[in-house]
Amino acid sequence: MATLMGCIADDFTGATDLAGLLARSGVRVSLRMGVPDHVPDDTASFEVIALKCRTSPVSEAVSQCLAALAWLKAAGASRIFWKYCSTFDSTPHGNIGPVAEALMAELGTDQTIYCPAFPENGRSVYMGNLFVGRLPLAESPMRDHPLTPMRDSNLMRLLEPQVKNPVGLVDHLQVSRGPEAIRTALGELAGQGIAHVVVDAIADSDLSTIAEACRNMVLMTGGSALAMPLPALYERDGLLGNDAVRQDLPTTKARGLVLSGSCSAMTRAQVAHYLGTGVPGFRLDPLQLAEDGIRQALTWLEGQDLSKMPLFYATAEPDSVRAAQQKLGVAKAGSIVEDALAGIAIRARQLGARRFVVAGGETSGAVTRALDVHRLDIGEEIAPGVPWCFAQSDGHDIAIALKSGNFGQEGFFADALSRLEAR
Ligand code: ADP
Protein backbone atom coordinates (compact mmCIF):
# COMPACT_ATOMS: atom_id res chain seq x y z
CA MET A 1 0.00 0.00 0.00
CA ALA A 2 1.28 3.45 -0.85
CA THR A 3 2.23 6.04 1.68
CA LEU A 4 -0.74 8.01 3.00
CA MET A 5 0.95 10.78 4.92
CA GLY A 6 4.38 12.22 4.30
CA CYS A 7 6.10 14.28 6.99
CA ILE A 8 9.00 16.67 6.64
CA ALA A 9 10.86 17.52 9.87
CA ASP A 10 13.33 20.40 10.15
CA ASP A 11 15.73 18.57 12.46
CA PHE A 12 16.83 15.14 13.44
CA THR A 13 15.53 14.51 16.95
CA GLY A 14 12.35 16.41 16.00
CA ALA A 15 11.82 13.80 13.30
CA THR A 16 12.32 10.96 15.79
CA ASP A 17 9.90 12.64 18.18
CA LEU A 18 7.24 12.92 15.45
CA ALA A 19 7.82 9.35 14.25
CA GLY A 20 7.50 8.07 17.84
CA LEU A 21 4.20 9.89 18.43
CA LEU A 22 2.72 8.63 15.14
CA ALA A 23 3.84 5.09 16.02
CA ARG A 24 2.06 5.26 19.41
CA SER A 25 -1.08 4.22 17.57
CA GLY A 26 0.59 0.97 16.44
CA VAL A 27 0.95 1.97 12.76
CA ARG A 28 4.06 1.35 10.73
CA VAL A 29 6.22 4.46 10.56
CA SER A 30 9.48 4.76 8.77
CA LEU A 31 12.02 7.51 9.23
CA ARG A 32 14.52 8.49 6.54
CA MET A 33 17.71 10.38 7.21
CA GLY A 34 17.61 13.03 4.51
CA VAL A 35 15.88 12.64 1.14
CA PRO A 36 16.59 9.16 -0.25
CA ASP A 37 18.00 8.89 -3.77
CA HIS A 38 15.15 6.82 -5.13
CA VAL A 39 11.66 5.71 -4.10
CA PRO A 40 11.73 2.14 -2.80
CA ASP A 41 8.66 -0.05 -3.22
CA ASP A 42 8.36 -0.82 0.51
CA THR A 43 7.34 2.58 1.83
CA ALA A 44 5.27 2.73 5.04
CA SER A 45 1.84 4.38 5.41
CA PHE A 46 3.55 7.13 7.40
CA GLU A 47 6.91 8.29 6.12
CA VAL A 48 8.98 10.89 7.96
CA ILE A 49 11.96 12.60 6.34
CA ALA A 50 14.49 14.09 8.74
CA LEU A 51 16.19 17.19 7.39
CA LYS A 52 18.60 19.57 9.07
CA CYS A 53 17.29 22.91 7.89
CA ARG A 54 16.02 24.76 10.96
CA THR A 55 18.72 27.40 10.78
CA SER A 56 19.78 27.03 7.13
CA PRO A 57 19.47 30.00 4.77
CA VAL A 58 15.85 30.25 3.55
CA SER A 59 16.55 29.24 -0.06
CA GLU A 60 18.42 26.14 1.08
CA ALA A 61 15.67 25.12 3.50
CA VAL A 62 13.05 25.60 0.79
CA SER A 63 14.92 23.53 -1.77
CA GLN A 64 15.58 20.71 0.73
CA CYS A 65 11.90 20.63 1.71
CA LEU A 66 10.74 20.67 -1.93
CA ALA A 67 13.03 17.71 -2.65
CA ALA A 68 11.51 15.90 0.34
CA LEU A 69 8.02 16.74 -0.94
CA ALA A 70 8.83 15.34 -4.40
CA TRP A 71 10.02 12.07 -2.81
CA LEU A 72 6.96 11.80 -0.58
CA LYS A 73 4.61 12.48 -3.51
CA ALA A 74 6.37 9.80 -5.53
CA ALA A 75 5.84 7.44 -2.59
CA GLY A 76 2.10 8.17 -2.90
CA ALA A 77 1.56 10.63 -0.03
CA SER A 78 -1.63 12.63 -0.48
CA ARG A 79 -1.25 14.57 2.79
CA ILE A 80 1.83 16.41 3.95
CA PHE A 81 2.83 17.43 7.48
CA TRP A 82 5.52 20.10 7.93
CA LYS A 83 6.96 19.57 11.40
CA TYR A 84 8.92 22.17 13.33
CA CYS A 85 9.77 22.63 16.98
CA SER A 86 7.06 23.13 19.60
CA THR A 87 8.84 26.37 20.53
CA PHE A 88 8.49 27.59 16.91
CA ASP A 89 12.29 27.91 16.67
CA SER A 90 13.20 30.11 13.76
CA THR A 91 15.78 32.72 12.92
CA PRO A 92 14.58 36.30 12.13
CA HIS A 93 14.55 35.31 8.44
CA GLY A 94 12.68 32.22 9.51
CA ASN A 95 12.19 29.04 7.58
CA ILE A 96 8.82 27.95 8.91
CA GLY A 97 6.73 30.37 6.81
CA PRO A 98 8.74 30.29 3.56
CA VAL A 99 8.83 26.48 3.55
CA ALA A 100 5.09 26.30 4.20
CA GLU A 101 4.44 28.77 1.37
CA ALA A 102 6.64 26.81 -1.04
CA LEU A 103 4.95 23.54 -0.10
CA MET A 104 1.51 25.16 -0.54
CA ALA A 105 2.42 26.42 -4.02
CA GLU A 106 3.72 23.00 -5.05
CA LEU A 107 0.68 21.22 -3.59
CA GLY A 108 -1.74 23.72 -5.15
CA THR A 109 -3.45 24.66 -1.89
CA ASP A 110 -4.18 28.16 -0.63
CA GLN A 111 -4.52 27.57 3.10
CA THR A 112 -2.68 25.77 5.89
CA ILE A 113 -2.67 25.76 9.69
CA TYR A 114 0.09 26.33 12.25
CA CYS A 115 -0.13 24.63 15.63
CA PRO A 116 3.10 24.00 17.56
CA ALA A 117 1.25 23.10 20.82
CA PHE A 118 2.54 20.04 22.71
CA PRO A 119 0.57 20.02 25.98
CA GLU A 120 2.32 16.89 27.34
CA ASN A 121 5.58 18.86 27.20
CA GLY A 122 4.07 22.13 28.46
CA ARG A 123 3.71 23.94 25.11
CA SER A 124 0.33 25.59 24.58
CA VAL A 125 -1.08 28.22 22.23
CA TYR A 126 -3.73 30.67 23.43
CA MET A 127 -5.01 33.62 21.40
CA GLY A 128 -2.13 33.02 19.06
CA ASN A 129 0.47 33.29 21.83
CA LEU A 130 2.81 30.40 22.56
CA PHE A 131 3.49 29.43 26.17
CA VAL A 132 6.29 27.26 27.55
CA GLY A 133 4.90 25.93 30.79
CA ARG A 134 3.48 29.01 32.52
CA LEU A 135 5.71 31.48 30.69
CA PRO A 136 5.12 33.24 27.38
CA LEU A 137 7.69 31.97 24.86
CA ALA A 138 9.63 35.27 24.90
CA GLU A 139 10.03 35.09 28.70
CA SER A 140 11.09 31.41 28.67
CA PRO A 141 14.71 30.23 28.36
CA MET A 142 14.09 30.16 24.57
CA ARG A 143 14.61 33.92 24.77
CA ASP A 144 18.36 33.28 24.94
CA HIS A 145 18.71 30.29 22.63
CA PRO A 146 22.11 30.61 20.92
CA LEU A 147 20.80 30.01 17.37
CA THR A 148 17.10 30.83 17.45
CA PRO A 149 16.39 33.37 20.21
CA MET A 150 12.63 33.80 20.48
CA ARG A 151 11.85 37.40 21.47
CA ASP A 152 8.13 37.47 20.65
CA SER A 153 5.47 35.03 21.86
CA ASN A 154 2.82 35.95 19.30
CA LEU A 155 2.82 33.42 16.48
CA MET A 156 0.99 35.70 14.05
CA ARG A 157 3.58 38.43 14.54
CA LEU A 158 6.39 35.88 14.18
CA LEU A 159 4.91 34.45 11.02
CA GLU A 160 3.86 37.65 9.23
CA PRO A 161 7.35 38.81 8.17
CA GLN A 162 8.14 35.27 6.98
CA VAL A 163 5.28 34.94 4.45
CA LYS A 164 3.81 36.83 1.51
CA ASN A 165 0.13 36.06 2.12
CA PRO A 166 -2.06 37.14 5.08
CA VAL A 167 -2.00 35.49 8.51
CA GLY A 168 -5.03 34.81 10.73
CA LEU A 169 -6.16 32.95 13.84
CA VAL A 170 -8.69 30.32 14.85
CA ASP A 171 -8.83 30.94 18.59
CA HIS A 172 -9.54 28.63 21.50
CA LEU A 173 -13.18 29.70 21.75
CA GLN A 174 -13.71 28.51 18.18
CA VAL A 175 -11.65 25.32 18.69
CA SER A 176 -13.68 24.39 21.77
CA ARG A 177 -16.87 24.44 19.68
CA GLY A 178 -15.66 21.37 17.77
CA PRO A 179 -14.37 20.25 14.37
CA GLU A 180 -17.27 21.70 12.39
CA ALA A 181 -16.75 25.15 13.97
CA ILE A 182 -13.04 25.00 13.08
CA ARG A 183 -13.84 24.10 9.48
CA THR A 184 -16.36 26.95 9.29
CA ALA A 185 -13.83 29.42 10.74
CA LEU A 186 -11.17 28.25 8.28
CA GLY A 187 -13.65 28.64 5.41
CA GLU A 188 -14.49 32.19 6.48
CA LEU A 189 -10.81 33.07 6.71
CA ALA A 190 -10.20 31.53 3.28
CA GLY A 191 -12.97 33.80 1.94
CA GLN A 192 -10.95 36.77 3.21
CA GLY A 193 -7.82 35.45 1.48
CA ILE A 194 -6.14 34.34 4.73
CA ALA A 195 -3.62 31.67 3.79
CA HIS A 196 -1.75 31.07 7.07
CA VAL A 197 -3.90 30.25 10.07
CA VAL A 198 -2.53 29.90 13.59
CA VAL A 199 -4.76 27.59 15.63
CA ASP A 200 -4.98 27.67 19.44
CA ALA A 201 -4.59 24.48 21.49
CA ILE A 202 -4.00 24.14 25.20
CA ALA A 203 -4.84 20.48 25.80
CA ASP A 204 -4.57 17.17 23.95
CA SER A 205 -8.33 17.25 23.46
CA ASP A 206 -7.93 20.49 21.45
CA LEU A 207 -5.34 18.80 19.24
CA SER A 208 -7.72 15.88 18.65
CA THR A 209 -10.46 18.33 17.61
CA ILE A 210 -8.10 20.21 15.27
CA ALA A 211 -6.75 16.98 13.78
CA GLU A 212 -10.29 15.78 13.16
CA ALA A 213 -11.22 19.07 11.49
CA CYS A 214 -8.08 19.37 9.37
CA ARG A 215 -7.15 15.73 8.67
CA ASN A 216 -7.91 16.05 4.97
CA MET A 217 -6.03 19.30 4.34
CA VAL A 218 -3.24 18.56 1.89
CA LEU A 219 -0.81 20.45 4.12
CA MET A 220 -0.81 20.77 7.89
CA THR A 221 2.03 22.31 9.85
CA GLY A 222 2.87 22.12 13.52
CA GLY A 223 4.62 20.34 16.33
CA SER A 224 4.62 16.58 16.65
CA ALA A 225 1.65 16.44 19.03
CA LEU A 226 -0.80 17.68 16.37
CA ALA A 227 0.08 14.67 14.22
CA MET A 228 -0.43 12.15 17.01
CA PRO A 229 -4.23 11.70 16.61
CA LEU A 230 -4.04 11.38 12.80
CA PRO A 231 -3.33 7.63 12.38
CA ALA A 232 -6.40 6.67 14.44
CA LEU A 233 -8.56 9.11 12.44
CA TYR A 234 -7.34 7.73 9.09
CA GLU A 235 -7.93 4.22 10.39
CA ARG A 236 -11.50 5.21 11.27
CA ASP A 237 -11.90 6.70 7.78
CA GLY A 238 -10.85 3.35 6.31
CA LEU A 239 -7.79 4.87 4.65
CA LEU A 240 -5.23 2.45 6.09
CA GLY A 241 -4.61 -0.97 4.61
CA ASN A 242 -3.84 -4.13 6.61
CA ASP A 243 -0.15 -3.56 6.08
CA ALA A 244 -0.36 -0.22 7.93
CA VAL A 245 -0.01 -2.06 11.23
CA ARG A 246 3.50 -2.22 12.65
CA GLN A 247 5.16 -5.48 11.78
CA ASP A 248 7.30 -7.52 14.14
CA LEU A 249 10.53 -5.66 14.51
CA PRO A 250 13.75 -7.65 14.63
CA THR A 251 15.21 -8.91 17.87
CA THR A 252 18.80 -7.86 18.35
CA LYS A 253 21.62 -9.47 20.29
CA ALA A 254 21.88 -8.07 23.82
CA ARG A 255 25.26 -6.49 23.19
CA GLY A 256 25.86 -2.81 22.81
CA LEU A 257 26.70 0.46 24.43
CA VAL A 258 25.46 3.84 25.56
CA LEU A 259 27.01 6.91 23.91
CA SER A 260 26.40 10.29 25.50
CA GLY A 261 27.49 13.53 23.85
CA SER A 262 24.83 15.73 25.38
CA CYS A 263 25.67 18.11 28.23
CA SER A 264 22.07 19.06 28.97
CA ALA A 265 20.97 19.03 32.60
CA MET A 266 18.78 15.95 32.17
CA THR A 267 21.49 13.99 30.37
CA ARG A 268 23.97 14.84 33.16
CA ALA A 269 21.55 13.37 35.68
CA GLN A 270 20.98 10.31 33.45
CA VAL A 271 24.72 9.65 33.12
CA ALA A 272 25.23 9.94 36.90
CA HIS A 273 22.29 7.62 37.50
CA TYR A 274 23.51 5.01 35.02
CA LEU A 275 27.06 5.03 36.42
CA GLY A 276 25.45 4.63 39.86
CA THR A 277 23.99 1.29 38.75
CA GLY A 278 27.56 -0.02 38.50
CA VAL A 279 27.95 -0.16 34.68
CA PRO A 280 31.49 0.42 33.39
CA GLY A 281 31.95 3.95 32.07
CA PHE A 282 34.64 5.77 30.10
CA ARG A 283 34.79 9.56 30.22
CA LEU A 284 35.85 11.31 27.03
CA ASP A 285 37.71 14.55 27.56
CA PRO A 286 37.81 16.81 24.46
CA LEU A 287 41.23 18.20 25.41
CA GLN A 288 42.72 14.75 25.75
CA LEU A 289 41.01 13.65 22.52
CA ALA A 290 42.50 16.68 20.73
CA GLU A 291 45.98 15.56 21.82
CA ASP A 292 45.86 11.77 21.59
CA GLY A 293 42.77 10.85 19.52
CA ILE A 294 40.52 7.91 20.41
CA ARG A 295 43.12 5.13 20.76
CA GLN A 296 42.75 4.97 24.55
CA ALA A 297 38.96 4.82 24.33
CA LEU A 298 39.12 2.03 21.74
CA THR A 299 41.54 0.01 23.86
CA TRP A 300 39.15 0.33 26.81
CA LEU A 301 36.23 -0.68 24.57
CA GLU A 302 38.05 -3.78 23.35
CA GLY A 303 38.39 -4.99 26.95
CA GLN A 304 34.67 -4.58 27.72
CA ASP A 305 31.89 -7.11 28.00
CA LEU A 306 29.32 -5.53 25.65
CA SER A 307 26.45 -7.43 27.29
CA LYS A 308 26.88 -4.99 30.21
CA MET A 309 26.09 -2.05 27.90
CA PRO A 310 29.07 0.10 28.93
CA LEU A 311 28.85 3.88 28.75
CA PHE A 312 31.02 6.36 26.87
CA TYR A 313 30.30 9.92 27.88
CA ALA A 314 31.63 13.37 27.08
CA THR A 315 28.79 14.73 29.19
CA ALA A 316 30.25 17.33 31.53
CA GLU A 317 29.32 20.27 33.74
CA PRO A 318 29.02 23.72 32.08
CA ASP A 319 32.38 24.94 33.52
CA SER A 320 34.23 22.03 32.05
CA VAL A 321 32.46 22.44 28.68
CA ARG A 322 33.34 26.15 28.66
CA ALA A 323 36.98 25.40 29.44
CA ALA A 324 37.20 22.95 26.52
CA GLN A 325 35.42 25.39 24.22
CA GLN A 326 37.77 28.24 25.19
CA LYS A 327 40.78 26.13 24.42
CA LEU A 328 39.55 24.47 21.23
CA GLY A 329 36.74 26.71 19.97
CA VAL A 330 33.04 25.77 20.27
CA ALA A 331 32.75 24.03 16.90
CA LYS A 332 36.04 22.14 17.23
CA ALA A 333 35.25 20.91 20.78
CA GLY A 334 31.87 19.67 19.52
CA SER A 335 33.21 17.95 16.42
CA ILE A 336 36.06 16.25 18.29
CA VAL A 337 33.56 14.67 20.68
CA GLU A 338 31.10 13.78 17.89
CA ASP A 339 33.86 12.19 15.80
CA ALA A 340 35.11 10.22 18.80
CA LEU A 341 31.65 8.84 19.63
CA ALA A 342 31.11 8.03 15.93
CA GLY A 343 34.46 6.15 15.78
CA ILE A 344 33.62 4.24 18.97
CA ALA A 345 30.22 3.24 17.53
CA ILE A 346 31.85 1.83 14.39
CA ARG A 347 34.44 -0.16 16.35
CA ALA A 348 31.76 -1.43 18.73
CA ARG A 349 29.69 -2.67 15.80
CA GLN A 350 32.75 -4.56 14.53
CA LEU A 351 33.03 -6.08 17.99
CA GLY A 352 29.42 -7.29 17.83
CA ALA A 353 27.45 -4.38 19.34
CA ARG A 354 23.85 -4.41 18.05
CA ARG A 355 22.17 -2.05 20.52
CA PHE A 356 23.00 1.63 20.74
CA VAL A 357 21.54 4.24 23.05
CA VAL A 358 22.63 7.72 22.02
CA ALA A 359 22.11 10.97 23.95
CA GLY A 360 22.26 14.34 22.18
CA GLY A 361 20.68 15.69 19.00
CA GLU A 362 23.90 16.49 17.14
CA THR A 363 25.49 13.38 18.62
CA SER A 364 22.61 11.24 17.29
CA GLY A 365 23.19 12.63 13.80
CA ALA A 366 26.92 11.89 14.00
CA VAL A 367 26.42 8.31 15.25
CA THR A 368 23.71 7.36 12.73
CA ARG A 369 25.82 8.79 9.90
CA ALA A 370 28.83 6.80 11.11
CA LEU A 371 26.77 3.61 11.30
CA ASP A 372 25.58 4.34 7.75
CA VAL A 373 21.93 4.21 8.75
CA HIS A 374 19.54 5.75 6.21
CA ARG A 375 16.22 4.37 7.32
CA LEU A 376 14.77 3.58 10.73
CA ASP A 377 11.64 1.58 11.54
CA ILE A 378 9.98 2.97 14.61
CA GLY A 379 9.25 0.74 17.58
CA GLU A 380 7.83 1.38 21.01
CA GLU A 381 8.41 4.56 22.95
CA ILE A 382 10.83 4.56 25.87
CA ALA A 383 9.90 8.07 27.01
CA PRO A 384 7.67 10.68 25.32
CA GLY A 385 9.34 11.50 22.02
CA VAL A 386 12.02 8.78 22.21
CA PRO A 387 11.19 5.49 20.52
CA TRP A 388 13.38 2.46 19.98
CA CYS A 389 14.29 2.39 16.30
CA PHE A 390 15.45 -0.53 14.17
CA ALA A 391 17.78 -0.34 11.23
CA GLN A 392 20.28 -2.15 9.07
CA SER A 393 23.90 -1.26 9.64
CA ASP A 394 26.63 -2.95 7.65
CA GLY A 395 24.28 -5.88 6.98
CA HIS A 396 23.28 -6.33 10.65
CA ASP A 397 19.99 -5.65 12.41
CA ILE A 398 20.56 -3.02 15.04
CA ALA A 399 18.37 -1.32 17.62
CA ILE A 400 19.07 2.34 18.25
CA ALA A 401 17.52 4.89 20.60
CA LEU A 402 18.20 8.55 19.84
CA LYS A 403 17.49 10.94 22.67
CA SER A 404 17.66 14.70 22.46
CA GLY A 405 19.32 16.36 25.45
CA ASN A 406 16.49 17.14 27.81
CA PHE A 407 14.22 14.19 27.04
CA GLY A 408 13.55 11.26 29.37
CA GLN A 409 13.71 10.76 33.12
CA GLU A 410 16.83 10.05 35.23
CA GLY A 411 16.67 6.28 34.77
CA PHE A 412 16.36 6.60 30.99
CA PHE A 413 19.38 4.50 29.94
CA ALA A 414 18.52 1.47 32.06
CA ASP A 415 14.81 1.88 31.19
CA ALA A 416 15.59 1.88 27.49
CA LEU A 417 17.51 -1.38 27.78
CA SER A 418 14.99 -3.16 29.95
CA ARG A 419 12.24 -2.13 27.47
CA LEU A 420 14.12 -4.00 24.78
CA GLU A 421 14.60 -7.05 27.03
CA ALA A 422 10.88 -7.15 27.77
CA ARG A 423 9.90 -7.51 24.08
P1 ADP B 1 21.76 18.22 23.08
O2 ADP B 1 20.68 17.40 22.47
O3 ADP B 1 21.82 18.11 24.58
O4 ADP B 1 21.79 19.64 22.58
P5 ADP B 1 23.88 17.65 21.21
O6 ADP B 1 24.54 16.34 20.92
O7 ADP B 1 22.94 18.19 20.17
O8 ADP B 1 23.17 17.54 22.63
O9 ADP B 1 24.95 18.78 21.43
C10 ADP B 1 25.98 18.68 22.35
C11 ADP B 1 27.26 19.18 21.70
O12 ADP B 1 28.23 19.37 22.73
C13 ADP B 1 27.84 18.18 20.73
O14 ADP B 1 28.37 18.85 19.60
C15 ADP B 1 28.95 17.53 21.54
O16 ADP B 1 29.98 17.01 20.72
C17 ADP B 1 29.44 18.68 22.37
N18 ADP B 1 30.10 18.25 23.62
C19 ADP B 1 29.82 17.14 24.34
N20 ADP B 1 30.60 17.07 25.42
C21 ADP B 1 31.40 18.15 25.40
C22 ADP B 1 32.42 18.62 26.27
N23 ADP B 1 32.78 17.95 27.36
N24 ADP B 1 33.03 19.77 25.95
C25 ADP B 1 32.66 20.46 24.86
N26 ADP B 1 31.71 20.07 23.99
C27 ADP B 1 31.07 18.92 24.25
Q: How far is the CA of 36 from the centre of ligand 1 (A)?
A: 27
* Max intra-chain CA distance, the chain: 69
pTM of the full predicted structure? Answer: 0.89
Q: Are 311 and 284 in contact (CB under 8 A)?
A: no
The 10s digit of each residue's pLDDT in 253-291 is 999 999 999 988 889 999 999 999 999 999 999 999 999
Å from CA of 200 to ligand 1 middle:
34
How are strands ordered across the β-sheet holding 123-126? 123-126, 129-132, 135-136
**Nearest CA owner, ligand 1 atom 15:** 334
3-state secondary structure of 406: coil
Pocket-testing residue among 267, 337, 367, 407, ligand 1, by greatest number of atoms within 8 A of Cβ: 337
Give residue 266 CA to ligand 1 midpoint distance, Å: 13
Q: Whose CA is nearest to atom 16 of ligand 1?
A: 334
For atom 13 of ligand 1, the residue with the nearest CA is 334
Kind plus residue range of the DSSP H or E element containing 408: none
Domains of the chain: 5-244 (3.40.50.10840), 256-421 (3.40.980.20)
| Per-residue pLDDT reduced to its tens digit, 157-210 | 999 999 999 999 999 999 999 999 999 999 999 999 999 999 999 999 999 999
| Per-residue pLDDT tens digits of the chain, which is 423 residues long | 689 999 999 988 899 999 999 999 999 999 999 999 988 778 999 999 999 898 889 999 999 999 999 999 999 999 999 999 988 988 778 899 999 999 999 999 999 999 999 998 899 999 999 999 999 999 988 887 767 788 999 999 999 999 999 999 999 999 999 999 999 999 999 999 999 999 999 999 999 999 999 999 999 999 999 999 999 999 999 999 877 777 777 888 999 999 999 988 889 999 999 999 999 999 999 999 999 999 999 999 999 999 999 999 999 998 999 999 999 998 899 999 999 999 999 999 999 999 999 999 889 989 999 999 999 999 988 988 889 999 999 999 999 999 888 788 999 999 999 888 776
Tell me how far apart the alpha carbons of residues 259 and 405 are, in angstroms, rounded to a whole number.
Answer: 12
- Ligand 1 centroid to Cα of residue 27, in Å, is 33
- Which of 271, 336, 362, 368, when mutated, tests ligand 1's pocket best, judged by the most ligand atoms within 8 Å of its CB? 362
Pocket around ligand 1: residues whose beta carbon is below 6 Å from it?
A: 261-264, 267, 286, 314, 316, 320-321, 324-325, 333-334, 337-338, 360-363, 404-405
Task: Please calculate the CA angle 202-112-164 and round it to the nearest 5 degrees.
Answer: 115
Where helices occur in 78-201 by DSSP H, the ranges are: 96-107, 155-159, 172-175, 179-191
DSSP state of 94: -
Residue 9 identity: A
Q: How far apart are CA 22 and CA 123, in angstroms?
A: 18
Is residue 211 within 8 A of residue 5, CB to CB? The reply is no
Give CA torsion, residues 166, 170, 171, 173, to 10 deg: 150
Residue 314 CA to ligand 1 center (angstroms) comes to 8
pLDDT attached to residue 330: 86
Cα separation, 361 vs 339, whole angstroms: 14
- CA dist 293 and 173 (Å) reads 59
How far, in Å, from the CA of 64 to the mean position of ligand 1?
A: 25
Q: In whole angstroms, what is the distance from residue 411 CA to residue 382 CA?
A: 11
Pairing of strands 5-9, 46-50: parallel
How many whole angstroms from 165 Cα to the centroid of ligand 1? 39
- Using CA atoms, how far apart are residues 8 and 345, in angstroms rounded to an integer? 27
For residue 407, which amino acid is it? F
